[in-house]
Copies of this chain bind each other. A is one copy, B any other.
Amino acid sequence: MCENPYYTAEQHGDFDLFELEDFVLEQGATLRNASLAYKTFGQLNKEADNAILFPVMFSGTHAAMATYVGSELALNPEKYFIIIPNQLGGGLSTSPHNTQGEYGGASFPMLSIGDDVRAQHKLLNEHFGIRTLQLVTGWSMGAQQTYEWAVRYPNMVTRALPIAGTAKTTPHCGLYVDVFCEALNSDPAWKNGAYKNANDVSEGLCRMARVFAMMGASHELFNEKSWSNFGFSSTEDFLAGFWENWFLPMDPNNLLCMAKKWRSGDVSQHTGGNLESALHRIKAKMLVVAFKQDMFITEADCRREQQMIANSEFVSISSQWGHFSMLGMSRDDFKIINSCLERLLAAPV
């Protein structure tokens, strides 16, 4: 394995590492000397009851979500202690690209959403002494973790706000994950994961980026050339400058590891496969947010699950950025998402 300059504090800003030591995964493997990368904002109060957990999406790090943290925003670090944990496999935590030996690279063991949540629970519990969370929120795979938190540790989660993500990956979304993984790992340069340098696999990474562009943003964004509002000069320039630019510096094995985790996301594993029973375990007050034009985590997918949750409401946000509205490319999207967070945090529980 080579060092990858993308997965550094230079690229993503400072972060901390929590030693998970020998961390046994749900599928049975042990990640030895594993660590969880995270970033905090604000101060934990004496009662340790002002914490917010904000897990991240596929291919994202704490840096991508930190824009939602600010003293004028719902996630106000002057009031709350905000923790953004990075995913296992995400590149800053223990991941295929930074693991040596039997579990390095493509031999990295299968992770589950539950593994991330258990690692985060360990951090909160052992390192910070946090027993209650004001809010768990996250987008996409961050929403998967949000659901897992609310179902696995119902007494700890006061409020939960999953954004464009599901408690159980749908069959269609599973097909989407397969399609973009195949776009990547069909590149002969991937070599079953034994490439020398991540950027040898640039063709596969570009193909994967275009699958994300096709399914992640809306038809309107392309057909009305709305990319021009964001500094792009043509469809090709938008594909290259936004989508390919996002994925090209990343490590293929890290991405494939996270994708497998995404595909297997399913809180009904706690209740013998019964999704409704699993969602009935939730005690949190919930606001379920969907993006109307999202083609891989659809409004209907989010709505279906929300209807099984007792103390919940549903909000659908219309934006040409579809699934990627969360990136806040449009200031309007950012504002409405922030207002959802504000509303749930203000709600009595």
Is A186 a contact of B207 with CB atoms below 8 Å? yes
Is A175 a contact of B222 with CB atoms below 8 Å? yes
In the complex where A203-B186, A219-B300 touch, is A210 in contact with B178 (Cβ < 8 A)?
Answer: yes
Q: Which residue of chain B is the closest to A223 with respect to CB atoms?
A: B170
Q: Whole-angstrom distance from the CB of A181 to the nearest CB of chain B?
A: 11
Residue from the set A175, A203, A207 with the largest chain B CB neighbour count within 10 Å:
A175
Cβ < 8 Å to B, chain A residues 1-29: none
Is B219 a contact of A179 with CB atoms below 8 Å? no
Which B residues lie within 8 Å of A222 (CB)? 170-172, 175
Q: Whole-angstrom distance from the CB of A170 to the nearest CB of chain B?
A: 5
Is A175 a contact of B213 with CB atoms below 8 Å? yes
Question: Pick the contact of A235 from B174, B215, B235, B298 — CB < 8 Å?
Answer: B174
In the complex where A183-B182, A186-B186, A188-B188 touch, is A172 in contact with B219 (Cβ < 8 A)?
Answer: yes
Cβ < 8 Å to B, chain A residues 205-245: 207, 210-211, 213-215, 219-220, 222-223, 225, 235, 239
Whether a CB of chain B sits under 8 angstroms from the CB of A49 is no
Which B residues lie within 8 Å of A183 (CB)? 179, 182-183, 186, 207
Whether a CB of chain B sits under 8 angstroms from the CB of A301 is yes
In the complex where A179-B211, A210-B178 touch, is A223 in contact with B171 (Cβ < 8 A)?
Answer: yes
Whether a CB of chain B sits under 8 angstroms from the CB of A103 is no
Which residues in A have some Cβ–Cβ distance to B below 8 Å? 170-172, 174-176, 178-179, 182-183, 186-188, 203-204, 207, 210-211, 213-215, 219-220, 222-223, 225, 235, 239, 295, 298, 300-301
Other than the given A170-B223, A175-B213, A178-B210, 4 more pairs (CB < 8 A) read: A172-B219, A172-B223, A179-B207, A183-B183
